[in-house]
Amino acid sequence: MNLPQTRRPVDCAFPVALFMLLVACGPRPVASDARAIGDGIFERDVDVPMRDGVRLRADVMRPAGHAPFPTLVYRTPYDKEQERREQTTFARALERGYAVVVQDVRGRYASEGEFRPYQQEGQDGFDTIEWAAAQDWSSGAVGTFGLSYPGAVQWLAAVENPPHLKAMVPAMTFASHENFIYAHGPFDMSWIEWAWNDIAPDRRARGHLTGPSNHDEAVAAWSNEGPRMQSVLPLDDMDALRDVAPFYYEWLRHPPEDPWWDWADLHPKYGKTQAAVFNLSGWYDEGYGPEGATSNFRGLVAARHGQVAGVALLLGPWVHGVKETASTAAGERRFAHNAKIDYDGLVLDWMDHHLRGVAVGSGSPVRYYVMGADIWREALDWPPAAVRTSFYLRQAAPGKTGVLARSFKGHGSSAFVSDPGHPVSNKYEDLGAHDYRELALRKDVLTFDSGPLAADTEVTGPIDAEVFVSCTCRDLDLWVRLYDVAPDGAAWNLMSPGPEVMRASYRDKEKGRQLLQPGRIYEIDVHGPMTSNLFKQGHQIRVQVFGSFFPDFSRNLQTGQSERTAAGFHKATIRIHHDRLHPSHVVLPIMAGP
Give 378-419 as a 3 state SS string: EECCCCCCCEEEEEEECCCECCECEEEECCCCCCCEEEEEEC
| All domains of the chain in start order, with CATH | 31-179+262-379 (3.40.50.1820), 190-236 (no CATH), 387-590 (2.60.120.260)
Q: Which amino acid is at 290?
A: P
The pLDDT score that the predictor gives to residue 36 is 61
Q: How confident is the model at residue 361 (pLDDT cuts 50, 70, 90)?
A: confident
The pLDDT score that the predictor gives to residue 35 is 63
pLDDT at 559 over 60: yes
Q: pLDDT tens-digit profile of 521-534?
A: 999 999 989 999 99
- Among 585, 588, 587, smallest CA distance to 467 is for 585
pLDDT at 557 over 60: yes
- Among 127, 23, 16, 145, smallest CA distance to 75 is for 145
Residue pair 305/333 in contact (Cβ under 8 Å)? The answer is no
- Within 10 angstroms of residue 578's Cβ, the number of other Cβ atoms is 25
Range of weakest confidence among 23-27, 117-121, 150-154, 506-510: 23-27
Q: What is the mean pLDDT of residues 88-108?
A: 97
Q: What is the mean pLDDT of residues 257-275?
A: 96
Residue pair 551/485 in contact (Cβ under 8 Å)? The answer is no
Distances (CA, A) of 511 to 68, 508, 514, 565: 53, 6, 8, 22
pLDDT at 398 over 50: yes
As a whole number of angstroms, the distance between CA 572 and CA 31 comes to 62
Q: What is the mean pLDDT of residues 336-357?
A: 97
As a whole number of angstroms, the distance between CA 289 and CA 279 comes to 10
Percent of the chain with pLDDT over 70: 93
Burial of 89 from C-beta contacts in 10 A (0-12 / 13-18 / 19+): buried
3-state secondary structure of 179: strand
Range of weakest confidence among 263-272, 354-363, 441-450: 354-363
Angle between helices 149-158 and 121-134 (to 10 degrees): 80
For residues 456-487, b (16+ Cβ closer than 10 Å) or e, as one string? ebbbbbbbbbbbbbbbbbbbbbbbbbbbbbbe
Q: How confident is the model at residue 512 (pLDDT cuts 50, 70, 90)?
A: confident
Averaged pLDDT score across all residues of the chain: 93
Those residues whose C-beta lies under 8 Å from the C-beta of residue 556, and which sit 6 or more positions away, are: 185, 186, 420, 475, 476, 477, 503, 547, 548, 563
Residue pair 522/469 in contact (Cβ under 8 Å)? The answer is yes
> What's the first-to-final CA gap in the chain, in angstroms?
58
Q: pLDDT tens-digit profile of 482-506?
A: 999 999 999 999 999 999 999 999 9
Task: Specify the pTM.
Answer: 0.92
Distances (CA, A) of 2 to 77, 79, 81, 327: 13, 10, 11, 34
Q: How confident is the model at residue 360 (pLDDT cuts 50, 70, 90)?
A: confident
Phi, psi for residue 78 in degrees, rounded to 5: -105, 20
As a whole number of angstroms, the distance between CA 119 and CA 220 comes to 29
The pLDDT score that the predictor gives to residue 594 is 62
pLDDT at 418 over 50: yes
Q: How confident is the model at residue 23 (pLDDT cuts 50, 70, 90)?
A: very low
